[in-house]
Amino acid sequence: MQRPPHKTQHAYLGKQKSRSVSSCGKRTLELSKGRLNFSIRLAQMQSICFQDAQSSLRNNLCRLSSSEKNLSQKRKTRKRLPDNKVLKLRKRNPLPRAVRVCNELSVIE
C-alpha cells in the first residue's frame, strides 16, 4: 500500500519547487510593477504639490507686500500714546508675572 518514502518525497519537493518558483516570479514582477506605479504616482503628486506650493507662495508674497504697504501707511497715521499714560501702564505691573507668582507663593507659605 505505502510507496517507498524517498520517491514520494522527491516528487512532492519537485512539484512544490516548480510551483513556488513560478508563482514567486509572477508575484515579484507584480510587486515591482506596483512599486513602480506607486513611485510614479507619488512623484506626480509631489510635483503637483510643489507647483501648488510655488503658486501659493507667490500669491502670499504678493499679498504680503501689499499688506506691508498698507501697514506702513497706517503706521504713519497711528496716534502715539502720551508719555504719562505709558508710564501709568508700566507702573501698574512693575514686576513680570512669574516673579509676582513666586512672591505670592512665598507669602502663602
- Higher pLDDT: 75 or 21? It is 75
Q: Chain-wide mean pLDDT for the chain? A: 62
The C-alpha cell of 35 is what? 512599486
Q: Which of 49, 26, 30 is nearest to 38 (CA)?
A: 30
Q: What is the mean pLDDT of residues 89-96?
A: 56
pLDDT tens digits for range 19-36 = 444 555 555 566 666 677
Q: Which of 25, 47, 48, 28 is nearest to 36 (CA)?
A: 28
User: Does the pLDDT of residue 49 top 50, yes or no?
Assistant: yes
User: Does the pLDDT of residue 39 top 50, yes or no?
Assistant: yes
| Least confident span in 14-23, 44-53, 71-80 | 14-23
